[in-house]
């Protein structure tokens, strides 16, 4: 059960894919102990394996990160050698909504599974620790499942419109109006919509053109919503847009808002007028007021800081 000595670069893209079996699947015996182990110890550059950072190389890198977090090589924790399913997309602001759509469809078919929706924007890769790197991971589960934690929020079926918004009199909200109407129909009466998140950067040249129909549609459905104080964009505090990280980061803020306030929020993708999205995020079932979070212990490592947040632990059935 020997394995070849790992080399830094693969011969080609096909070889880079093939040798993932050596890294994660094949069993071999350690020469010093004779113990059976799974895979080889490799570094990030060997996982990428190519001089060009292709989409396949990005998939291998993401798979490696997820599989490591899942202890997939462990013979004790993962005796069957089961590996996570990883689907990777490249895109801009709307890509996270496509991830969400597929994740919810997967959960509908597999209610006993968990799905991670991980959005990442790192335009300067491979240079790390840049201020324009943004990321968030959403852990989604079916409402009928018990994963040992109470849910932080509820996420509903997203609304999607392809094609122009066509915002003009007599309906200045254009296609945003029926989308917002659908979200209002989903919103629980006791958890009204009081906040909206979007992905348009504050310095975008066409920000007024993009946001005008959104403001009109929101006013039609929620005339009392404060459109100055309760319209947020994750990129409004950044030097540049959050791009591919936009959905997950905005959704994380919306989930925190819903969990702490008992109100619902709408997360939108506005930046592409021909590919518009909106999703409702509300408090979890049985929501009760709780003391506001005043201290947020951060997990620190490798010069970075993360803000993990889970619900309250509950006994698994």
Share of the chain above pLDDT 70, in %: 91
Q: From residue 295, how far is each of 136, 255, 269, 292, 298 by CA, in Å?
A: 20, 18, 31, 9, 9
**C-alpha distance across the termini of the chain, in Å:** 40
Q: Which domains does the chain have, with CATH numbers?
A: 1-88 (no CATH), 95-151+295-306 (no CATH), 154-282 (3.40.47.10)
Cα distances from 81 to residues 11, 24, 65, 182, 316, in angstroms, run 27, 9, 16, 43, 24
> Which H or E element spans position 281?
strand 275-282
Global pTM reads: 0.89
Q: Which two tokens stand for residue 312?
A: 């309250």
241 dihedral zone (left: phi>0; alpha: psi -120 to 50; beta): beta
By the 8 A CB rule, do 193 and 241 touch? no
CA-to-CA distance for 75 and 54, rounded, in angstroms?
31
Percent of the chain with pLDDT over 90: 67
Question: In this model, does residue 128 exceed pLDDT 70?
Answer: no
pLDDT tens column, 185-211: 999 999 999 999 999 998 889 999 999
Tens digit of each residue's pLDDT (9 = 90 or more) over 154-173:
999 999 999 999 888 789 99
Chain segment 217-258, per-residue pLDDT in tens: 999 999 999 999 999 998 887 777 889 999 999 999 999 999
């Amino acid at each position: 059960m020997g394995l070849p000595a790992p080399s830094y670069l693969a011969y080609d893209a096909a070889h880079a894919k093939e040798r993932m079996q050596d890294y994660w699947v094949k069993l071999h015996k350690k020469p010093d102990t004779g113990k059976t182990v799974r895979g080889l110890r490799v570094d990030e550059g060997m996982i990428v394996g190519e001089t060009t950072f292709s989409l396949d190389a990005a998939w291998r890198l993401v798979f490696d990160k997820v599989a490591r977090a899942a202890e997939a090589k462990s013979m004790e924790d993962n005796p069957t050698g089961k590996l996570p399913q990883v689907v990777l997309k490249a895109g801009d602001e709307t890509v996270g909504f496509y991830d969400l759509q597929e994740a919810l469809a997967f959960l509908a078919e597999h209610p006993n599974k968990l799905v991670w929706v991980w959005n990442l924007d790192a335009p300067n890769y491979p240079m790390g620790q840049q201020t324009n790197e943004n990321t968030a991971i959403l852990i989604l589960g079916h409402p009928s499942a018990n994963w040992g934690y109470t849910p932080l929020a509820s996420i509903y079926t997203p609304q999607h419109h392809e094609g122009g918004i066509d915002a003009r009199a007599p309906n200045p909200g254009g296609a945003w109006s029926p989308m917002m109407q659908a979200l209002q129909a989903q919103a629980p009466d006791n958890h009204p919509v009081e906040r909206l998140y979007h992905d348009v950067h504050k310095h975008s040249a066409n920000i007024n053109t993009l946001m005008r129909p959104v403001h009109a549609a929101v006013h039609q459905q929620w005339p009392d919503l404060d459109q100055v104080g309760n319209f947020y964009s994750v990129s409004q505090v950044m030097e540049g847009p959050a791009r591919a990280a936009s959905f997950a980061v905005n959704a994380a803020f919306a989930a925190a808002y819903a969990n702490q306030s008992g109100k619902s929020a709408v997360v939108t993708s506005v930046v592409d007028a021909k590919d518009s999205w909106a999703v409702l995020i509300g408090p979890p079932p049985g929501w009760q007021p709780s003391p506001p979070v005043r201290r947020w212990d951060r997990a620190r490592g490798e010069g970075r800081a993360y803000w993990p947040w889970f619900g309250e632990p509950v006994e698994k059935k």
